[in-house]
């Protein structure tokens, strides 16, 4: 449901696994809707499906609506197997939609302007399409093949097309022909954890933009509008145009802020990834170093004690060279995942690795001498400190120059 503090839809434990259908009816009539009464709308849903109707009276500035005395309070009664609730909202259409969703408890949500002459087929078609495509937003559209809607003047038709183009190219809403429809349906899980402003009249447009921003793969399916007769349409009001442009501008800024936040999150994620990668390679390098120490000991010991006529210093030198070679190969293949084994490349890397290892030995000996003679630190501690510094330097130098990688990655 909508969180009262964050205006975001959150998971409701009672909703999990439920097939409850919530129908949000919007009306500006202070008493009853112009075209769609709650009882009749509820009867259009199959009897075996649990359902509720929430009738939201919006733009109500007094207490004359068919609700409780306090605006925003609810009243309900049991009716033909479902529940009907009434709600006053002192705001516009989008605000009424979001407040209706906040009050609802259904897994499936159907929104309809009860003051618009949609045919009786609309609710069953919406419901059927939503059940068949639970991961889609289903929109009743004026601009798809087969639509039967009110006759519009040339000016009205032009303004509608301009509005659609603004949404398409300004807000990147390219997967829907009628982004300002006042009749649509979706599953609650598509909009959970999304914050909605609920300003003006463009409820569907806000949902489309913010759901797309969260999950670009969410699809939209449009069904053609069918209306009861063809009553004359109202003239386009300047205030309506201004409200639409304001909503588009707010959603455009939302997209920019979301992109900036996403970019910032990407930077943080990249830094975290680089840190993990660096530590992983360092861990592998030092693990290989430990294995090299073991190989050095085994080779030297066997040569000095098993093979005859081998001086212990000669055995030690061979052990060192064998361990350096195995360290190089293991680091090349495992630590730095370098698969180039061409002779020239391999030999060049090997010599570079050997040079840095020799340099590391010099650094280690020098540091031990300085720590013991100049700072009078115990030999054991001095040795540990010198090994750590020399090993880290050896790792960084080989990472950068031997295997051609950036230091911090």
Higher per-residue pLDDT: 157 or 11: 157
Q: Does position 152 have pLDDT exceeding 80, yes or no?
A: no
**What pLDDT score does 85 carry?**
87
Q: Does position 111 have pLDDT exceeding 90, yes or no?
A: yes
CA 368/CA 293 separation, integer angstroms: 19
| Cβ-based neighbours of 74, under 8 Å, separated by 6 or more | 67, 68, 85, 86, 87, 103
* pLDDT bucket at 390, cuts 50 / 70 / 90: confident
**What pLDDT score does 150 carry?**
60
Query: Range with the lowest mean pLDDT among 103-112, 179-188, 379-388?
Result: 379-388
CA 60/CA 32 separation, integer angstroms: 13
* pLDDT bucket at 255, cuts 50 / 70 / 90: low
Q: What average pLDDT does range 25-53 have in this prediction?
A: 86
323 in the Ramachandran plot: left (φ > 0), alpha (ψ -120 to 50) or beta?
alpha
Token pair, residue 328, equals 């190089």
Q: Does position 8 have pLDDT exceeding 50, yes or no?
A: no
CB-based contact 149:177 (threshold 8 Å): no
**What pLDDT score does 1 carry?**
35
Q: What average pLDDT does range 306-313 have in this prediction?
A: 76
Query: Range with the lowest mean pLDDT among 20-24, 228-232, 271-275, 323-327?
Result: 228-232
pTM (two decimals): 0.54
Q: Does position 72 have pLDDT exceeding 90, yes or no?
A: no
Query: Range with the lowest mean pLDDT among 44-48, 116-120, 179-183?
Result: 44-48
Q: Does position 148 have pLDDT exceeding 80, yes or no?
A: no
What is the dihedral sign for C-alpha 173, 176, 178, 180? Answer: negative
Higher per-residue pLDDT: 170 or 107: 107
**What pLDDT score does 236 carry?**
55
Q: What average pLDDT does range 61-78 have in this prediction?
A: 42
pLDDT tens-digit map of 209-238: 888 777 767 889 999 988 776 454 555 555
**What pLDDT score does 24 carry?**
93
What is the dihedral sign for C-alpha 114, 117, 120, 121? Answer: negative
pLDDT tens-digit map of 344-387: 999 999 999 999 988 988 888 888 889 888 888 888 888 788 88
Q: What element of type H or E holds 111? A: strand 108-113
**Residue 246 backbone dihedrals phi, psi, to 5 degrees:** -65, -45
pLDDT tens-digit map of 286-301: 899 899 888 888 888 8
**What pLDDT score does 15 carry?**
41
Q: Kindly report each contact of residues 249-252 with a partner whose C-beta sits within 8 Å and lies 24 or more positions away, as own/partner.
A: 250/197, 250/199, 251/171, 251/202, 251/205, 251/206, 251/209, 251/210, 252/170, 252/171
Q: Locate all alpha helices (DSSP H) within 203-311, ordered by sequence.
A: 203-214, 238-305
Mean per-residue pLDDT over the chain, rounded: 77
Q: What average pLDDT does range 112-130 have in this prediction?
A: 89
3-class secondary structure, 327: helix
Q: Does position 4 have pLDDT exceeding 80, yes or no?
A: no
Domain 21-236 bears CATH identifier 3.30.230.10: no
Give the full edge-to-edge strand order of the sheet including 82-89. Answer: 74-79, 82-89, 51-58, 21-27, 108-113, 183-187, 136-141, 219-224
**What pLDDT score does 186 carry?**
94
| Cβ-based neighbours of 246, under 8 Å, separated by 6 or more | 199, 200
Token pair, residue 12, equals 């409701």
**What pLDDT score does 197 carry?**
75
Among residues 126, 125, 122, 82, which one has the least CA distance to residue 104? 82
Domain boundaries, the chain: 21-236, 272-402
């Amino acid at each position: 449901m909508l969180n009262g503090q964050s205006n975001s839809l959150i998971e409701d434990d009672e909703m999990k696994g439920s097939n409850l259908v919530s129908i949000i009816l919007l009306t500006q009539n202070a008493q009853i809707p112009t075209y769609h009464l709650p009882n009749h709308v509820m009867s259009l849903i199959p009897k075996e499906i649990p359902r509720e109707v929430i009738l939201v009276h919006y733009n109500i500035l007094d207490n004359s609506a068919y609700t409780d005395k306090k605006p925003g309070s609810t009243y309900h009664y049991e009716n033909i197997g479902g529940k009907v609730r009434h709600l006053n909202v002192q705001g516009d259409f989008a605000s009424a939609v979001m407040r209706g969703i906040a009050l609802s408890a259904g897994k499936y949500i159907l929104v309809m302007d009860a003051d618009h002459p949609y045919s009786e087929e609309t609710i069953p078609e919406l419901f059927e399409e939503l059940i068949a495509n639970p991961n889609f937003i289903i929109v009743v559209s004026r601009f798809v093949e087969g639509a039967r809607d009110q006759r519009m003047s040339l000016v009205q038709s032009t303004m509608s097309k301009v509005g659609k183009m603004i949404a398409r190219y300004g807000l990147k809403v390219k997967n829907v022909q009628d982004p300002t429809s006042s009749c649509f349906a979706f599953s609650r899980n598509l909009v959970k954890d999304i914050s909605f402003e609920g300003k003006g009249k463009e409820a569907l447009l806000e949902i489309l933009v913010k759901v797309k921003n969260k999950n670009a793969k969410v699809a939209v399916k449009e069904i053609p509008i069918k209306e009861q007769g063809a009553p004359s349409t109202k003239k386009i009001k300047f205030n309506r145009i201004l409200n639409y442009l304001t909503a588009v501008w707010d959603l455009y800024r939302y997209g920019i802020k979301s992109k900036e936040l996403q970019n910032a999150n990407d930077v943080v994620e990249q830094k975290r990834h680089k840190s993990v990668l660096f530590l992983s390679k360092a861990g592998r390098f030092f693990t290989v170093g430990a294995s090299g120490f073991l190989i050095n000991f085994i080779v030297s010991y066997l040569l000095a004690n098993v093979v005859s006529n081998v001086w212990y210093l000669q055995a030690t030198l061979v052990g060192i060279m064998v361990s350096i070679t195995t360290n190089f190969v293991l680091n090349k293949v495992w630590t730095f995942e370098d698969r180039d084994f061409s002779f020239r490349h391999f030999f060049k890397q090997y010599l570079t690795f050997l040079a840095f290892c020799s340099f590391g030995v010099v650094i280690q000996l020098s540091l031990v001498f300085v720590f013991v003679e100049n700072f009078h630190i115990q030999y054991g501690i001095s040795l540990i400190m010198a090994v750590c510094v020399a090993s880290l330097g050896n790792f960084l130098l080989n990472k950068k120059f031997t295997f051609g990688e950036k230091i911090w990655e």
